[in-house]
Every structure is written in C-alpha cells, then in structure tokens.
Amino acid sequence: MPNIQLTFPDGTTKEFPHGVTALEVAKSIGPRLAAEALAARVNGRLVDLSSRLEESAPIQLITPNSPEGLEIYRHSSAHLLAAAVLELYPDAHPGVGPATDSGFFYDFYRPQPFTEADLAKIELKMQELVRADLPYERVTFGKDEGLKLFEEKGEFLKCELIREKAEPVFSAYRTGKFLDFCRGPHIPSTGRIKAVKLLSVAGARWKGDEHSHPLQRIYGTAFFNQKELDAHLHQLEEAKRRDHRRLGKDLDLFSIQDEAGPGLVFWHPKGGIIRKEIEDFLRAELLARGYELVYTPHVARLDLWKTSGHANFYRENMFTTMALDDAEYQLKPMNCPGHIMIYKSSRRSYRELPMRLAEFGTVYRYERSGVMHGLLRVRGFTQDDAHIFCAPEQIEDEIAACVEFAKLVLTTFGFERYEVELSVRDAAEPAKYAGAAEDWERAEGALEKTLSRMGIPFKRMEGEAVFYGPKIDVKLIDAIGRPWQLSTVQFDFSLPVRFGLEYVGADGRAHTPLMVHRALLGSVERFFGVLIEHYAGAFPLWLAPVQAVVLPVSEKHLDYARSVAGELRAAKFRAHLDDRNEKLNARVRDAQLQKVPLMLVVGDREAQGHGVAVRRRDTGDAGFRPLAELMGWMRELIDTRAVKW
C-alpha cells in the first residue's frame, strides 16, 4: 500500500503509512498532543483517535481547546454514566444520552425511581470506572445482526432507534457492560475524564412525546479539570443566589399566592414602584417615537376572537369563555384585535400611516399547571405591546426603528450583550403559512436588509417563523451570561386580511396595510424577573424602591434625621427614615440586606455641617457630603438612569 499524505491545519503536509491511526499521527507530532488529543477531524468528519486513516486528507486533532472537544468529552461522560448505571441497576434500559450546552444527560427506562442517594452511588461507580480506564471501543454491525444483539439484551428503546435511524452497517460503542448504538466519536478511554458531577434526576418522555414511555433523566456535567467544574458549580450557586423568586420575597417586591391562584402576580409596593419607573421610561420613549397610547378592554365577545382566528388555533391557551346575557365573552390572550378595532373605527388614509398604537396590555393565557415559574411564566401578564399599521414601502424604516428602540431599552437596563435571530419560513412548505409568497419575500427581505444595514449580526432560523409572518427576536445576555428571549418584532399577514383592514392610497384606491406586532420587554412580569436576576436585586439608583435610607446615630439625632429625610422626599427622592430603636450596626445591616443604594448616617458632625455621612451599598463608607451636593449628584444619576455609579 502506498503512503498517504495528511495535511495539517497550518498547511503543512506529512507522509504516513497507509492505515496509520489518528493517535499515531498525534504521537508523531508530540507526546503532549497525543496525551491531550480527544478525537480527530479527517476530511471534515469527526472520528476516533483509534480510527485508521486510509487515504490522503486534511486532518486536525481535536483537543480540549477545540470547540468540538468539550462536546465529545461530555458525550463520552454520558456513556460513562450509562455504564455505571448498568453496573448498579441491570434493570435500567438506556434511552438517549447526548451532550448539552452545559453538560450531558442520559435517559433510562426503569420502573423504580432513582433517588438522590442513587446519584451518589452512581457517581462513585463512575469514578471507579474512570480509574479502571475502560476504552470506548467502536464496533460495527450489520443492521440485522446488530438489531438481534440489542434485542437479546432486551434494550427495547435502543432497538427502536436502530430500526428508525441505523444505516445498513452501523456503529456502536462499548464501555464496560454498556453497549450503545452511537455514531461517535468518543474519547479513547474513561481515564481521560477528569472532572464529572451528577446534578439531578428528572422526568422525561421517550422522544419528548408525552404519551410515550416515562423515562428518568439523569443530568450531569463534565469539565476538563476540577477548577472549571468548580467554577461551573459556583455559577449554579450564583444563579440560585439571584433567583428572582427568592429575592422577590426577601426584598418584598411581589408575591404569587395559593389563595388567589397560580401564575397570578401581586406587585407589592416596592415592586410596583420599579414597574412604574420602567413604564414611565417606556411611555416617554414611545411618545417621542411617534407611538400613540391606547387602552382596550380586557374582555370582548368571543366573535371577535373567532374573526381573529384565536378562538380556533389559540384555544388551548385561552381562559374559558364567560356566558353573559347576550353572548359568550372571552378574556383576552392578546392585544392585537383590540388595536385592530381602533384602526377599523374609521376610514384610514395613507396619510395616517404608519399608525403606531401602543398599550401596556394585560393578557391572560391558560398555561398548563406544571409550566408556571415565578414571574417568568405566568397566567396573567402585561405586554408592552404595540401594533404598527403601515404601507409596504414603510416597512424597512419601521423595522429599523423597532430594533433601534429595542437596543435602547436593553442598554438602559444595563444589558451589555444581545443576540438577534431572524425567523423565516420554510420555503419547502408554503401551505403552512398565511399570506402571499411575495409578501413573505418582501417582509423577510426587509427584515434581513434592515439588520444588515444596521450592522447587527444575526442568526437566520429557517422554518422558525410563525404561520402569520416572519419575525426578529432579540435575546439579551444577563450579568452571568444567561440568554433571555424578550423583544420580538413580528410581521402579521393574517390579521389585516381577516379583519378586512384597509387604507385609501394616494391612488384613491383601497389597500391592505401591513401589520407589525412588537414588544420590547416582552412581558413586564418576565422582564422584571429577568431584571431582578440581572441585578441580583441590587437595582441602580433610578430603579431602587428605596433610594436612600437615613440612619440617625442615636435618638438625639432624630430631629435632624427627620429634616434630612423630609428634604430628600420634597426633592422627589425615595427616602426612608429608619428610626427604629436598634443599634446603628443593625440598621446598616438591614439596609445592606435590603440592597438600598445609599445609607445616610447622621449624627452631631453631620447636623453641624448640614450634610450626611454617605455609605454606599457597593463600596461602603464614602465620607461626609453636604446635603445639597448629595441631592445634586443623586438627581444626575437618576435623570440619566445611570447603570454604573
């Protein structure tokens, strides 16, 4: 056999004997690389290090530094988990076990539930298998022969997968007692796994189908070293610390109560003031941008929802109807028909377009009982909703303005990074979508062109559009790197037609307007939840429910403290006087735990100089400051909505 030529990523080419393994190639470069390598990419395909190379090709060794490295490593960790489970629980039947964004999981069918104690046992067994340094052995089978083998082992879930997905000759990987139908590649052996941890067990369904076999999903994560794993676990702790449900209670921002019902939010005074600030900011911006503020009823005749189509395709998400004297009425799950009613209330001219109708519209949606989650998923919520009715030639400017507006909102609330997704239709299935193909083309083109023109990088999501139109979603990234989908800008080709919307054009003829649906916060409740977690409850001055707490050193200083608090309140600051009979230390601690931005200590010295001793929530004692000067500084921070101060 002639030698083969392998080309490395740096462009150099070396000659190797026919049938050389990827591992031997790595060794020829250096022992360090051979020790680190996890897999290889040959001719664009990921393969095991043990695979034999039989023709000339480009080759790249996958190491922990490669983007694919971690995924392969975690996938192998999932196999390790399954191997450990099969050792301990031979009655468990493996389902699927992929790597995920933050770790891996493996699904098992087993009548008996896994407990926390089982997880600990499994983890110990995994460590044992790591010490045993078992190879990930690749074997290939003919489809019939392989199927028979898995049938004999009683692996009915695997058999189903093989029947559905396997090529005539398919690969499987053996790790100890565990044999998995799997494309690979895998790391060479279990000894390479350095830091792995099981996290939780949860229910799942075979193939995500709720009518299918109930499975138990064991979640875990793996990293290349203990330090990274610890950092990840610390991150999980941090997320827990920021949990808005915890902080909502601790800071007395909101509650959700059994007595009233799940998914229904009570905004307490402190949450309420934050909401007011958010809404005031948005309302001012809406007016400045040519939006008009409207209000629409919370219920309407079911007929309206029949016209809109919601009564049909959105029924499972709506509250049940109420029968009144004259007709069935429906609690609104969306604001669009209301705004359409306003548009339709009179004959519209092209001169009135674009018409931008905005409302903080409270909607009610029936959510299945298991899906509610704090403020992030509720049954009653308020959207910062707006519908823009415009002529086709106005689309691009309107879209650009919406995206620009969304960016302003994100930066105002201290979000520094975001991701944009453009969801377009699946061109192969035109029947799934409402509206003419040419409208879709124009709208998708307009969205894409606008984003490109604005220099905003975006991900194109083929087939992700809703049936009534394409959309742009903005995902913001919070302080600890988690993405949240909030802002959305959507086209709607369906509703203008359903409601027979028109405007009279310059040509004197009737035309159908285009409708854009957009929400920037998405829902005020969800946004608030995200905001709480983003700031970990430590809101910037302009949002803080209590901006400053005045702390008299002793009872002697109460009068002066009262006058300071009074002056602050007269100047429209949210100041609170803590006149409790507690030691200063205790009151400082309470203010600190309540995350009050400014603590103003007043005693003899301060009274004499008509000032306060400022303690900042973040950096502590900041020394004496005359009251007038302090108020000027606070005013500036609040008016500019300063995020950092």
Which residues of this chain interact with RNA, rule CB under 7 A?
113, 115, 200-205, 208, 210, 214, 216-217, 245, 249, 256, 258, 261-263, 365, 367-374, 376-379, 381, 383, 485-486, 488, 519, 522-523, 525-526, 553-556, 580-586, 588-589, 592-593, 599, 601-606, 613, 615, 620-621
Cβ 455 to RNA shortest distance, Å: 25
Catalytic residue chosen out of the listed positions 356, 517, 526, 595: 517
Tokens of 50: 């043990």
Facing residues of 483 across strands?
Answer: 477
Does an H or E element contain 356, and which?
strand 355-364
Report yes or no: 222 and 190 within 8 Å, Cβ to Cβ. Answer: no
For residues 343 and 337, what is the distance between their CA atoms, to the nearest angstrom? 10
Facing residues of 46 across strands?
Answer: 41
When the beta carbons of 250 and 303 are compared against RNA, the nearer one is 250
For residues 320 and 337, what is the distance between their CA atoms, to the nearest angstrom? 18
Cβ 381 to RNA shortest distance, Å: 4
Cβ 175 to RNA shortest distance, Å: 24
**Angstrom distances, CA of residue 181 to CA of 78, 141, 158, 171, 349:** 13, 10, 7, 6, 64
- In sequence order, what DSSP letters do the residues of 444-496 get, joined into one string? HHHHHHHHHHTT--EEEEET-SBTTB-EEEEEEE-TTS-EEEEEEEEEESSHH
Cβ 375 to RNA shortest distance, Å: 8
When the beta carbons of 11 and 113 are compared against RNA, the nearer one is 113
Tokens of 71: 């995924």
Catalytic residue chosen out of the listed positions 383, 394, 490, 594: 383
Catalytic residue chosen out of the listed positions 242, 310, 339, 387: 387
Cβ 113 to RNA shortest distance, Å: 4
- Give every strand in the sheet of 104-109, ordered side by side: 93-94, 104-109, 214-223, 195-205
Cβ 80 to RNA shortest distance, Å: 20
Cβ 511 to RNA shortest distance, Å: 28
When the beta carbons of 20 and 157 are compared against RNA, the nearer one is 157
Q: Cβ of 1: how many Cβ atoms within 10 Å?
A: 7
Known catalytic membership, residue 498: no
Residue closest to 157 by CA, chosen among 202, 78, 217, 213:
213
When the beta carbons of 239 and 299 are compared against RNA, the nearer one is 239
- Give every strand in the sheet of 328-331, ordered side by side: 299-301, 328-331, 322-323
For residues 341 and 554, what is the distance between their CA atoms, to the nearest angstrom? 62
When the beta carbons of 346 and 608 are compared against RNA, the nearer one is 608
Report yes or no: 385 and 433 within 8 Å, Cβ to Cβ. Answer: no
When the beta carbons of 127 and 317 are compared against RNA, the nearer one is 317
Known catalytic membership, residue 475: no
Cβ 383 to RNA shortest distance, Å: 7
Tokens of 357: 């109708």
When the beta carbons of 185 and 361 are compared against RNA, the nearer one is 361
Report yes or no: 136 and 173 within 8 Å, Cβ to Cβ. Answer: yes
Catalytic residue chosen out of the listed positions 41, 79, 339, 471: 471
When the beta carbons of 176 and 603 are compared against RNA, the nearer one is 603
Cβ 97 to RNA shortest distance, Å: 13
When the beta carbons of 68 and 367 are compared against RNA, the nearer one is 367
Residue closest to 82 by CA, chosen among 59, 103, 104, 52:
104
Known catalytic membership, residue 387: yes
Cβ 423 to RNA shortest distance, Å: 10
Tokens of 235: 């991150």
When the beta carbons of 227 and 605 are compared against RNA, the nearer one is 605
Facing residues of 358 across strands?
Answer: 293, 386
Catalytic residue chosen out of the listed positions 107, 180, 385, 478: 385
> In Å, how far from its chain's centre is CA 444?
24
Residue 639 burial by CB count (10 A; 0-12/13-18/19+): exposed, middle or buried?
exposed
- In sequence order, what DSSP letters do the residues of 152-218 get, joined into one string? HTT-HHHHHHHHHH--SEEEEEEETTEEEE------SBGGG--EEEEEEEEEEEGGG-TTS-EEEEE
Known catalytic membership, residue 383: yes
Known catalytic membership, residue 330: no
Residue closest to 328 by CA, chosen among 318, 339, 313, 342:
318
Catalytic residue chosen out of the listed positions 217, 275, 365, 407: 365
Known catalytic membership, residue 471: yes
Residues annotated as catalytic are 336, 365, 383, 385, 387, 471, 517
